[in-house]
Amino acid sequence: MSVSLRPSEALALWHDVTLDLVRDGGHDFSSRQITILLTIYLEPPPHTVRGLAAKLKVTKPVITRALDTMGALDLVTRRRDETDRRNVIIQRTVKGALFVEKMGDIIVARAKELPR
């Protein structure tokens, strides 16, 4: 238990950060895409298409398409699971790690300058 935020502060923070992402980010990701990216980079591996789909309560093609998009941007990679070749293991990339790190910095900076 930990970060104490009032609703108005919480919304102001969300507003400021998404504004930064829109203005400076270059990309315009949906909530689904953001969630998939952060899950891959924050939760312990391995990550599979089925696992992500279950966690987000969406269908598998949604995950496949999001991986296609973010793979084309070099934010994630896919690899066959050799122990069970039906599975696909989703892996992190240097570029993706930098992207997520930058996002963390934006949130921290905006939280710091929040009026209260």
Partner DNA sequence: TCCAATTGTTACGGAGGCGTTATAGTTTGG
Partner DNA sequence: CCAAACTATAACGCCTCCGTAACAATTGGA
Q: Which residues bind DNA (CB under 7 A)?
A: 28, 30, 32-33, 48-51, 53, 58-69, 78, 83-88
Rounded Cα–Cα distance for residues 62 and 44 (Å): 21
Residue 106, judged by CB atoms within 10 A of its CB (0-12, 13-18, 19+), counts as: middle
Number of residues engaging a second copy in binding (CB under 8 A):
50
Contact with a second copy (CB under 8 A): which of 4, 44, 83, 84? 4
Q: Which residues bind a second copy (CB under 8 A)?
A: 1-15, 17-19, 21-23, 25, 28-32, 34-35, 38-39, 41-42, 55-58, 100-101, 103-105, 107-108, 111-116
